[in-house]
Chains A and B, each alone.
Chain A
């Protein structure tokens, strides 16, 4: 808990909390807080930037929009939803946090997240690290060839890492970190899928697992990435979009 007192200013016309309530089913139960503090006592972000979930919700309820807008805490809450899990009234504090991120102008949001989002929007792969279709195809092929050459077992098992294989059952996504910085870490999953006899594929486009535009609370952009992932999956007629480790 934090010990800093909350100071209330005069009533304002339009409140941030009322706007968020219109977006959520049942208004996110944002009016139902009993101030029990179960959320804050079990939240790893309690105390960071002088804030905790209960305090944040109370400030919103009191119409302290300027203070909420000025706080960096929405970027330190991971929206893990443990507060909802323990809340007797199931209050959606994480959605309040998510929408509080939109109060910061886009150009002032954390640079690391913004750059990753912007990079993903520039490439067909949606990779936050800017991995192009050609780079991805090259590195996957390179790692695959190395394994097959090193061990006849995988030559015999016909180990594959298909890209754009139409009609595969699973569309498997891939975090950019592996192809870009530690490509050999892709191989264990390929081996597992091979041994389990799974019919799978990567996509040349939108194979990425990450979506930093979501963390940016940039709704239009994260939707664009999810849409591209869906379109590529449907184009290849894959039945299941598989989110990997």
Chain B
């Protein structure tokens, strides 16, 4: 999906921008999903993912994890772990991911994968980091001013009431 988000932004179809975050300066990091990056498309799609994120939150507001891209650590949400019943082990598995995220100092973790989203969200609560974990589609819509009231479940308090102007209105 990320390659298409990137393509549509490059082609000017998705009019995303990061003006909303110029003064807020909210910092974001991103989880590279193993299935999409290391196991399928490699670093090029990780670069597309970063292009989308930076276009949406501002280059200066993006902080990468270490290590990252194809060398990134799995969060522990994949392979059926979420449904396997081994909760204690799953949270122990995710400790390294939680530490990686905290080390970035970012306010938010973007997880553009369902399993990653569920697992990292739980890690954030369990290990007390309480950083919000958001889908990429949420931020893309927020940046274009089209994110609805009911579509803000995963945003933190700092963004819950941020409504940038709809960039598709009064285009002419």
* CB-defined contacts of A216 to chain B, threshold 8 Å: 80
> Which residues of chain A are within 8 angstroms of B68 by Cβ–Cβ distance?
none
* Alpha-carbon distance between A47 and B144 when the two chains are bound, in angstroms: 45
Task: Name the distance in Å between B95's Cβ and chain A's nearest Cβ.
Answer: 8
Min distance, Cβ A92 to any Cβ of chain B, angstroms: 12
Total contacting residues, chain A, CB less than 8 A:
50
Cβ of A139 within 8 Å of any chain B Cβ, yes or no, is no
CB atoms of B169 and A153 under 8 A apart: yes
Closest Cβ–Cβ distance, residue B22 to chain A (whole Å): 22
In contact, B141 and A191 (Cβ under 8 angstroms): yes
Known contacts A49-B89, A182-B153, A196 near B83 by CB under 8 Å: no
**B169 and A111 within 8 A (CB):** no
Chain A residues in 8 Å Cβ range of B85: 110-112
B134-164 at interface with A (beta carbon < 8 Å)? 135-138, 140-141, 144, 146-148, 150-151, 153
By the criterion CB–CB under 8 Å, are A48 and B8 in contact?
A: no
Whether A188 pairs with B147 at a CB distance below 8 angstroms is yes
Report how far A11 CA is from B155 CA in the complex, Å. 58
Does A244 reach chain B (CB closer than 8 Å)? yes
A78-B79, A85-B71 known; A187-B140 Cβ under 8 A: no
A189 touches B137 (CB 8 A): yes
**Could you tell me if B168 and A195 are in contact, using CB atoms closer than 8 angstroms?**
yes
Judged by a CB distance under 8 angstroms, whether B127 is at the interface is no
A202 to chain B, nearest CB (A): 15
A193 CA / B76 CA spacing, docked (Å):
30
Q: How far is the CA of A81 from the CA of B36 in the complex (A)?
A: 12
Say yes or no for A197: interface residue by CB 8 A criterion. Answer: yes
Of A49, A110, A147, most buried by chain B (CB within 10 Å of CB) is: A110
Task: Check B141–A192 contact: CB distance below 8 A.
Answer: yes
Whether A215 contacts B1 by the Cβ 8 Å rule is: no
Chain A 203-245 interface mask (CB, 8 Å, partner B; 1/0): 0000001101001100000000000000000000000001111
A69 in the interface, Cβ–Cβ < 8 Å? no
Q: In B51-84, which residues have CB < 8 Å from any A CB?
A: 70-74, 76-81, 83-84
Asked if residues A192 and B137 are in contact (CB atoms below 8 Å), the reply is: yes
Task: State whether B151 touches A184 (Cβ < 8 A).
Answer: yes
A72 at the interface (CB under 8 A from B): yes
Shortest C-beta distance, B31 to chain A (Å), equals: 11
Query: B34 touching A82 by the CB < 8 A rule?
Result: yes
The minimal Cβ–Cβ distance linking A140 to chain B, given in whole angstroms, is 15
- Contact of A195 with B146 in the complex, beta carbons under 8 Å: yes
Collect the chain A residues with CB atoms within 8 Å of residue B95's CB. 44
- Minimum C-beta distance from B88 to chain A (A): 9
Contact A153–B166 (Cβ < 8 Å): yes
Collect the chain A residues with CB atoms within 8 Å of residue B14's CB.
192, 195-196
> CB < 8 Å: which of A80, A116, A243 contacts B34?
A80
User: When A and B form their complex, which 6 residue pairs have the shortest distance between CB atoms, in order from nearest?
Assistant: A215-B80, A80-B74, A112-B83, A78-B79, A188-B137, A78-B78
> Which A residues are within 8 Å of any B CB, using their own CB?
42, 44-45, 47-49, 72, 75-82, 85-86, 110-113, 116, 147, 150-151, 153, 157, 175, 177, 182, 184-185, 187-189, 191-192, 195-198, 209-210, 212, 215-216, 242-245
CB-defined A-B contacts under 8 Å, sample of 23: A42-B73, A48-B93, A76-B90, A78-B77, A82-B74, A110-B85, A110-B86, A112-B84, A113-B84, A147-B148, A153-B168, A184-B148, A184-B150, A185-B151, A187-B148, A189-B137, A191-B141, A192-B5, A192-B140, A196-B13, A215-B80, A244-B1, A245-B137
